[in-house]
């Protein structure tokens, strides 16, 4: 369970427009840290830097003390599993969508990931496990079920770090609560960074940072931040 550190990170997409103004925060090993802020604050930019889609102008991003610029792209992808807001599923079986046949994943791995994502109920209802297609010709999945498939797809790689990027923003409130409970469970043995624009979706985080115009405005637990309002 690694520690993730942003150390005085400065970054912008265009030379004359700084988006992140010297951002420093730590996600301690095994903890669940959340970054919340309005649209345009720079939240997704943090995710893109963590995946090295871009590198900071200055400052460093460290995983277990190592600058991510010194890590191969392949090991970075193994270390960090992302659950995005909208996952595109293949027009194929649930098993394939979770990762069957890719990266050496076995049926046992797939089933374990499906259980972790609380998909067992759906799988048990299928006539042949995993063999009913998702998509136009086959099974219709609800938004919540699709998101569970996406969570299982991430879990199958067993990443030590989870990045939840607005993972429940596209869901209705009731489904959101179900998925949040599952995400809370699957983050338990991992280091997890959640990105959200609503405080209500990150109530379980060990620590919350409020990001505004590329600066960290406040930090605390959910209750501390509510009291500060
Ligand atoms: P958030 O995720 O908090 O909504 P983003 O990190 O997506 O915010 O964006 C922060 C700022 O960076 C916004 O002002 C946005 O317009 C700008 N931005 C995002 N992506 C790009 C890009 N590829 N090129 C230029 N500007 C960008
Ligand atoms: P897979 O590795 O499961 O075949 P992809 O090829 O779609 O999936 O993506 C490879 C990796 O790139 C993902 O596992 C994730 O680490 C990263 N990635 C993909 N899309 C995004 C995104 N929108 N934001 C951040 N990282 C992403």
Q: Is the CB of 46 under 6 A from ligand 1?
A: no
What band does 129 get if pLDDT is binned at 50, 70 and 90? very low
Predicted ipTM of the assembly: 0.64
Q: Choose which residue among 18, 35, 39, 40 to substitute to test ligand 1 binding: the one with the highest number of ligand atoms within 8 A of its C-beta.
A: 40
pLDDT digits (tens, 9 = 90+) for 9-47: 999 999 999 999 999 999 999 999 999 999 999 999 999
What band does 127 get if pLDDT is binned at 50, 70 and 90? very low
Cα dihedral 163, 79, 28, 165 in deg (nearest 10): -10
> Can you give the pTM of this predicted structure?
0.84
CA 4 – CA 105 distance, rounded (Å):
27
Q: Choose which residue among 52, 73, 82 to substitute to test ligand 2 binding: the one with the highest number of ligand atoms within 8 A of its C-beta.
A: 82
Question: Which of left, alpha, beta for 100 (phi over 0: left; psi -120 to 50: alpha)?
Answer: beta
Q: Is the CB of 13 under 6 A from ligand 1?
A: yes
């Amino acid at each position: 369970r690694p520690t993730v550190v942003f150390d005085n990170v400065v970054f912008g997409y265009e030379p004359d427009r700084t988006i992140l103004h010297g951002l420093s925060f730590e996600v301690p090993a095994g903890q669940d840290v959340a970054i919340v802020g309005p649209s345009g604050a720079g939240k997704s930019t943090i995710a893109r830097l963590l995946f090295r889609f871009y590198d900071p102008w200055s400052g460093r991003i460290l995983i277990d003390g190592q600058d991510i610029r010194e890590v191969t792209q392949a090991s970075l992808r193994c270390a960090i599993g992302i659950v995005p807001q909208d996952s595109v599923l293949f027009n194929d079986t649930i098993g394939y969508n979770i990762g069957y046949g890719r990266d050496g994943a076995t049926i046992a791995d797939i089933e374990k990931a499906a259980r972790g994502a609380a998909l067992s109920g759906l799988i048990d209802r299928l006539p042949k496990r995993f063999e009913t297609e998702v998509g136009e010709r086959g099974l219709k999945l609800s938004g919540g079920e699709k998101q569970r498939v996406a969570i299982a797809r991430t879990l199958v790689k067993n990443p030590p770090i989870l990045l939840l990027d607005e993972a429940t923003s596209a869901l209705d409130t009731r489904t959101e609560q179900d998925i949040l409970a599952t995400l809370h469970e699957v983050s338990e043995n991992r280091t997890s960074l959640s990105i959200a624009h609503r405080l209500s979706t990150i109530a379980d985080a060990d620590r919350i940072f409020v990001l505004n115009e590329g600066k960290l405005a406040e930090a605390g637990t959910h209750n501390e931040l509510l009291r500060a309002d």
